[in-house]
Amino acid sequence: EQPGSRAVPTLRFVAVFSRHGSRSPIISYPKSEYPMNNTKVWPHGAGQLTTSGRVQTYQLGKKLRSLYNGFLDDLYHPGDIVAYNTHFDRCFASAQLILAGLYPPRDFQVWNRDLPWQPIPTLYTDKDHVLIVLSMAPKWSNWCPKFRIEQEKSLARLQRDFGSNLTQLLEYALTYTSLDVGNNTLNTSIGSMWVDTYTLWESLVNPEMEGLKLPAWASKIYP
């Protein structure tokens, strides 16, 4: 095969960082047209890679092969590459799909003629045992303290600079989404506004990425 466009003689080391592929929602507003638990819309389950997300990550692996072929050997050797992923199903799956595109089995590595895939291990990244990713689930309460401080500062700036705009946006969306269905009023605290805004975005961006039709009211605020 032709050498990859990035496989220059001076290349010594490559680090690639990637997000997981397209996924189903992990949260949705009460009146969502495509709620996260609707298995007819999201057959792989909530928060999982969609079919298009699987294609994305597999194609990314093939793209990396085209860029670094020659720097990378045709055959997979454990000492040549180490793949890490965070502890979510979609991240494990994404890493495996990237590797499948990057290292299709060749020669003695072909173990099933009907399956152009070989098992390549991925490692779970949790070396410091401290989570820095914001999550609304109680089990993720052990955030990195420094991250939490910076996050509080960032949310305060968000409230200061865009609080009135966010309030207007959420008040408009309230009728259509029932974001605060309990009392039908808008909680304007920083944390609540962040969660409501994220819930709204999460319920729109994932269906859009899957080519699903968004409700007409959303066109006034999204994208």
What does the pLDDT look like over 104-126, one tens digit per residue? 999 999 999 999 999 999 998 76
Q: Please tell me the pTM assigned to this model.
A: 0.86
Per-residue confidence (pLDDT) for residue 182, from 0 to 100: 39
pLDDT, one tens digit per residue, over 6-52 is 999 999 999 999 999 999 999 999 999 999 999 999 999 999 999 99
Q: What is the pLDDT of residue 46?
A: 97
Question: How confident is the model at residue 151, as a pLDDT?
Answer: 77
Q: For the structural domain made of 1-127, what CATH number should be given?
A: 3.40.50.1240
Burial tier of 46 (Cβ tally within 10 Å: 0-12, 13-18, 19+): middle
Quote the pLDDT of residue 128. Answer: 55
Per-residue tokens: 125? 């990244």
pLDDT digits (tens, 9 = 90+) for 161-202: 988 898 899 999 999 998 863 344 445 555 677 888 889 999
191/181 Cα distance (integer angstroms): 17
pLDDT for the residue numbered 189 = 54
Long-range contacts at 177-182 (CB < 8 A, ≥ 24 apart)? 177/29, 177/30, 177/31, 177/32, 177/203, 178/29, 178/30, 178/31, 179/29, 179/30, 181/30
Q: Where are the domains of the chain?
A: 1-127, 138-220
Q: What's the CA gap between 216 and 223, in Å, rounded?
A: 12
pLDDT in tens, 162-171: 888 988 999 9
Phi, psi of 210 (to 5 degrees): -95, 5
Confidence of residue 136 (pLDDT cuts 50, 70, 90): very low
Between 142 and 70, where is the model more confident? Answer: 70
pLDDT value at 56 more than 50? yes
- Please report the pLDDT score of residue 129 as a whole number: 54
CA distance 59 to 22: 13
pLDDT band at 158 (very low <50, low <70, confident <90, very high): confident
* 65-115 per-position pLDDT tens digit: 999 999 999 999 999 999 999 888 999 999 999 999 999 999 999 999 999
At 149, is the pLDDT very low, low, confident or very high (cuts 50, 70, 90)?
Answer: confident
The pLDDT score that the predictor gives to residue 191 is 60
